[in-house]
Chain A
Amino acid sequence: MYLKSLKLTNYRKFSAEQNEIEFISSKLIKVDKKTGNQNDKDIVENGSSNEEITEIDVASDTTLIIGKNNAGKTTIITALDTLVNHGKFGINDFNYRYLQRYLKEYDIDDTRINLPFIECVLTVELEENSDDRISNLVPFMLVEDVNNSELKICIRYEIADASFFKSEMEKLFSEEVTFADFFELLNSMDFEINYYDKNGEKIDIDFKISNLMELQCIKANHLKSEHCLTEAFNKIIKYRYEHTFQNEKREINKKLKEVNSDLSINISKNHTDIIRKVLERLISMERMGVQLSADITFDKLIRDLIKYEYIEDNANVPEDQFGLGYTNLVMIIAAIIDYIEKYPDSSFNSKINLISIEEPETYMHPQMQELFIKNINEAIRFLLSSKNKDVNSQIIITTHSSHILNSKIHSANTFNNICYLSEKQSNAIAVNLNNKRIMPEENEDEESGGFRFLKKHIKYKVSELFFSDAAIFVEGFAEDTILPYYIEKKEKLNRRYISIFNINGAHGFLYKRLVEALGIPVLIVTDLDIKRGNEDEDENESIDNTKAKRTVSYEQIDCLKGRETTNATIIDLKGDSDLSNISTFIENDNLYLAYQGKINGYYATSFEEALILNNYDNEVINNILKELKPRIYTSIVGIKPEYKKNIDNSYKWQVKLSNCKGEFASKLLYQIVNEDLEEKIPQLPKYISDGLDWIEQKLGGR
């Protein structure tokens, strides 16, 4: 059995919605690869499947809880820790916004009104035909659960005496009520913890969650002293002596006795007399003596037994010279060794075992974080290979490191079992990610091209998406280069973390469901990509070759009637490729699709063209165009530049610039960064600035 999910209602940052966190069962069980439980991935990775290898896959069987600071990661672990190890909640554990709303909606005349409560619902999954003992669960089971395999345990922290609370509330309401008054009243109430089954029936038995679950927390900031590693290993070795090597321990004790007695003799011979004489001078020793003896015990010995040194290039490095990052990693592994050592040797389980590792990334450099899961995987694999234990434990890692997230996604090759926490109207919301949920299409195959693209592409962009306040997807180098400058200038946006990523082509729509799941506002800046007639379709290539042969017409488009787009993202979000009825933008919940509108009479097909249309008379733009393509520039605007002509030739510019877009963007950025006069800086085309306004407005509401 394992913990399938935890639902926290009205607890700290969590409200009554999107408050369920899912967990994966991670059985650290050695899998005989020949006989079963294999999946294709393993076979591929390990080459041959005939060999008997014990395989433990921590990566895919770990639940990763990610989120920005203050998103509620620790709250989840604290809730579990409270349930399992303390069993005590307090008034301060209430979600204050819930209490505020409760007070606002309280009606003294309504006798059926609910009392304020905190609720935790644990869903426990029972594996078919498992041998796990269910003694702790039976009180919560219904007949149907026998076939169900899923079981709910509801724990409520609630007011002990309803009628007393109501009468006190009545007194409170006889005058003006403030939240502080109400809170004080709550503080004076007696609360109790009650358990309920799925029917909502209170269970009147002596039950403790600790009978059912164990939680081992490995916390961040556990590097308390310079010798913490030594201490950690001493603890393990002591445990092993006491439980696994009892005979050896007895031997040691025997030797210790000898040493003690030898030493004592020596001490009494050489030292006791002297001390006694000294003392006799000070105090009368008639009725008191001094007995000095050696007292080395096993505990004392073991406490200082181990010296942990790191061997680096054949030279021993003492622990305190050891990097914090390594120390941290080793500490985590030491905690896991300790845990596995102590795990009972029985053939069945009656408990759910959780190990939580909180923010392991502390002190680790990025590459080490990237390898973290792999390292843990290896350590556990090694530990278990020498043991004959089934360690049925679930590992939960909380992190705000994008590298660890990356490492999880890529070593497990899936998006499964990632719990993403974010904030909505000041409450924490939990989003449980999995492949199904974020796949570009709902019923897509995990092997589909779209999904593979997503996985590949996200690899080094993960942090941009998961840890930012908003994201902007752009399709080309120019936008990527120039947009940050404009965002920096917007007062409301420059305080937020807005990431821009260039997805090199109209693939934005592939992110649609992922973005939807994450719930952050995403602006996709794309191009209209108006489909043109055959003749001008392959112009890019033909320009050079056929310059002489035919006059190319750079048709300006001033009307979208009968026009179609070739842009996959527009097609996907709009539903068809027809441009004649397209709105100025497409908004879909937290997704905003921006593309060119009519600028100075024409529809631009790319960012550059839109920029030129928009800033046809801008000095900076004209200078750059002149610099890049002096001949074309002159041919368009004439020797005595007539900026207006840029408008009618915008498409020609677009075509001509297509082989030097990068240069165009870089030069532009260089120019505007060094431009002191605000009015000289080219303006963003409206469709983009509208998009930025949209982000601003979305973030403003949060």
Chain B
Amino acid sequence: MGLSKISNEDQDKEKEILNQLFQYSDRFESTVFNSGAGSGKTYALVECLKYIVEQNRERLKHHNQKIACITYTNVAANNIKVQIGASDIVDITTIHDRVWHIISGQKSALLSLHIEKLNSAIKELDEKLSNKEDYKKYRELNKELQEHFFQLMFENKTNYNKAYNLKAKEFKDAMPDEIRREYSELISNVSKFKGLVDRLFRRKRYSDCLEKINRGEKGYREVYYDPMFNRDRLDKMRISHDTLLDYGFALIQKYPKMKQIVIDSYPYILIDEYQDTADTVVEIMNAVGQYAKEIKHEIFIAYFGDSVQNVYDTGVGTKLKQLHPNLKTVTKLYNRRSYTEIIDVANKVRNDEINQKSIYLDSEGGSVELYYGNQDVVRKFVDLCVEQWNIYMKNSLHCLFATNQMVADYSGFPNVYKAFKSTGVYQGIGYKQLNTELLSHDTIRLGKVQSLLYRLLKLYTEVREKKQALRDILPTDEYRNMSFSDLKKLIVLLQSLNGNTLDELLVDIFGKYKASSDKTYKFIIERIFDIDEISYEGVLKYFLHSLYDSYDEEVETKQIVGEILNLRIEEVLCWFHYVNRDEGKEIYYHTFHSTKGLEYENVIIVLGKDFGQDKGLFELFFKEYGEDIGQDLPKYEQYERGRNILYVAVTRAIKNLRILYIDDLEEIRHNIEKIFGKAEAFPIQMT
């Protein structure tokens, strides 16, 4: 067993670094704690939390104050919770949960923000209606006719929704005569017609909502946020993750008291993985920090992370010091994760002033080897490693692939990936989003349809899981008056939902939805699908709108989204397990992005010159490695991106690392060997 002994000298040095951090916390000087991958950033964060608790618990408790620890994902939050143990003064959550916790009490302020938001949404719709080319014909109608048209359509809403997914011809036939007769101009182009009606309906929903807020109707008195859902439903008073942060920021800007509330409730704020945190959050923090100085209250804000590991385009990355100036810096060079062999390679990839060293005395014994071959040898390569490293469930193997399709193929859901890849929104520039919206392990980041499928499969698997807690399945308020036998029936009903394909499953669910009189069942289904029109047709419409910006009106929806509907449930389940990182396997496949913050004993990295659609990203990195290209900014940015991604990948390994390069190696051989050592051909040539 390696990585177990720490020399006194190194331990003291590490302690010194931590002590520096502790002192800043004592003096309320906000700090950024920079550390490379594997340097025990979480360790430092946990130690820092413990230190603050130990020093200040009595005082915090007395003033009813807490320490906020903000993580990037729920998984990370739980991880820290386990290390800290129970605590009544440390709140560890994601930023969204924390922000919601802080602002949810400001009901009237939130409500007025929401009214603003609704008004601006209506304004936006009105602008579209009065400017967009699509609605020219509608504009040409006089007010009266416009109003009449709307009334007519509103009365036929059910009909409209039902026919929505039909081919253009059939759709027209299903519309009332009067529409075809009096508004033939409008309906001549069905997709424009639908776009118009949808907008009008939405406008109606928004204005209805405003009215209900005005009247103070039940359910319209406050805004709510539910982390399960990734999109706004303004008319239902529900906001999404992004809107939540926006509201939070707006409140902070608008009301100085809000800042004071934050400062006085959380005199210590520790932010994990700062490089991936949204700019808004850092701006909020900065504003809070400034205000604290003004009113002479004390606050300690600490950012933990590594700008080099910023792999999401949305994160603050190196901009931190601009957005939040005057931060103290603590840098940690010790590595607590990997064997020396891995650390050396990682330092080479990084190639900057940070040069990590293992904190352990017994850190030798890892291995890094570089091979080259082509796409077809990947499976063989993996098999060989399984054999060599004696892979079994407790000693699993983790393969990092540079292309999403490969991850999907190897993880058992190739068609799920293909089906989504071929939809409208992921074409061209939209492709970049596919990685996050389909393959993210953080469900907050999943796309709309993916998020719906995720919720659906969550229910599907949970009701089949004996040890699953019912409170996660049943909505909190709906089981109030349920008897045991009712509950039994409900669970049996939920367990009966099935189908070979997604389509069959949907048909089954909505068939039973119609037939059942069980209110709780209906409520659960409504919650999962979270769409306006709870029906099979409604789901198709939702799929269509979420996945296509435009579509051929001569084709019925069922055919357009057919590829997704026809996905086999087993395959979708494979995707679900992938997203959940469900355990119990020998080999796991990951994208480069998804492994951030994690560590594995055995790692294979398979890469070529491209990083997905990012053509030539790695090729450029290897080519320009060690060159001075600081002048050529676009090139440098590319280089930096390639480096960051590769750095994250390499630093996942604790002990064993194999690189398989599956493109032509010759041009970059010199530099790639500089980093990883001699390249061998795979399969190994028999000589």
Contact = CB atoms under 8 A, between A and B. Distances in A.
Interface of A: 1, 115, 126-127, 129-135, 138-147, 158-164, 166-167, 190, 192, 194, 197-199, 201, 203, 205, 348
Contacts of B488: 129, 146-147
8 contacts: A134-B484, A138-B471, A138-B479, A142-B468, A162-B87, A163-B49, A197-B469, A199-B469
A190 B61 contact: yes
A132 B484 contact: yes
B485 A143 contact: no
Given A164-B53, A192-B88, A134 B467 contact: no
B98 interface: no
A135 B466 contact: no
A205 B483 contact: no
Given A138-B470, A161-B53, A163-B50, A131 B86 contact: no
Given A163-B87, A167-B50, A138 B487 contact: yes
Nearest to B480: A135
Interface in B464-498: 464-471, 473-474, 476, 479-485, 487-488, 491
B483 A141 contact: no
A199 B467 contact: yes
Contacts of A132: 483-484
Contact of B54 (A140, A159, A167, A190): A167
Given A146-B491, A163-B54, A199-B469, 9 more contacts: A115-B85, A139-B469, A143-B464, A161-B86, A161-B90, A167-B53, A197-B469, A199-B467, A348-B483
A134 B86 contact: no
Contacts of B487: 134, 138, 141, 146
Contacts of B577: none
B89 interface: yes
A338 B225 CA distance: 48
B57 interface: yes
A145 to B, nearest CB: 7
B171 to A, nearest CB: 43
Nearest 4 Cβ contacts at the A-B interface: A162-B85, A144-B466, A160-B88, A141-B470
A167 B482 CA distance: 46
Nearest to B464: A143
Contacts of A190: 61, 88
Given A139-B471, A141-B469, A143-B467, A133 B87 contact: no
B95 interface: no
A163 B469 contact: no
Contacts of A162: 84-87
B483 A142 contact: no
B624 interface: no
B462 interface: yes
A143 B470 contact: yes
A190 B484 CA distance: 37
Interface in B40-54: 49-50, 53-54
Contacts of B53: 161, 163-164, 167
B115 interface: no
A133 B467 contact: no
A263 to B, nearest CB: 51
B461 to A, nearest CB: 11
A130 B54 CA distance: 51
A201 B470 CA distance: 12
A132 B466 CA distance: 23
Contacts of A1: 484
A140 B487 CA distance: 14
A135 B471 contact: no
B485 A130 contact: yes
A231 B164 CA distance: 75
Interface string B74-92: 0000000000111111100
A205 to B, nearest CB: 7
A135 B482 contact: yes
Interface in B417-463: 462-463
A131 B467 contact: no
A133 B482 contact: yes
Nearest to A135: B480
B470 A164 contact: no
Contacts of A140: 471
A129 B492 CA distance: 14
Contact of B469 (A115, A131, A142, A161): A142
Contact of B491 (A143, A160, A167): A143
A27 B664 CA distance: 81
A126 B488 CA distance: 12
B87 A160 contact: yes
A149 to B, nearest CB: 8
Interface string B663-680: 000000000000000000
Contacts of A127: 484
B52 to A, nearest CB: 10
Given A143-B466, A161-B57, A205 B88 contact: no
B484 A161 contact: no
A130 B49 contact: no
Nearest to A159: B86
Given A143-B491, A160-B87, A131 B470 contact: no
Contact of A163 (B85, B479, B484, B491): B85
Given A199-B469, A203-B471, A164 B54 contact: yes
A608 to B, nearest CB: 65
A130 B484 contact: yes
Interface string B119-147: 00000000000000000000000000000
A127 B483 CA distance: 11
Question: Which among B49, B61, B465, B484 has the greatest number of chain A C-beta atoms within 10 A?
Answer: B484
Given A129-B484, A141-B470, A205-B471, A158 B465 contact: no
A49 to B, nearest CB: 30
B467 A142 contact: yes
Contacts of B473: 143
B471 A143 contact: no
Contacts of A133: 481-483
A201 B476 CA distance: 17
Contacts of B476: 205
A144 B467 contact: yes
Contacts of B464: 143
A445 B462 CA distance: 44
Contacts of B465: 143
Interface string B516-550: 00000000000000000000000000000000000
A348 B482 CA distance: 11
Nearest to A149: B484
Nearest to B476: A205
B270 to A, nearest CB: 14
Interface in B157-192: none
A160 B473 CA distance: 29
Contact of B474 (A129, A138, A203): A138
A337 to B, nearest CB: 30
Contacts of A126: 484
Contact of B87 (A144, A145, A161): A161
Question: Which among A138, A143, A159, A190 has the greatest number of chain B C-beta atoms within 10 A?
Answer: A143
A145 B488 CA distance: 9
B80 to A, nearest CB: 11
A85 to B, nearest CB: 24
A198 B487 CA distance: 19
Interface in B174-227: none
A164 B462 CA distance: 37
Contacts of A130: 483-485
A212 to B, nearest CB: 14
Contacts of A167: 50, 53-54
Contacts of A134: 479, 482-484, 487
Nearest to A199: B467
A161 B88 contact: yes
Contacts of B85: 115, 162-163, 166
Question: Which among A1, A133, A146 has the greatest number of chain B C-beta atoms within 10 A?
Answer: A146
Nearest to A160: B88
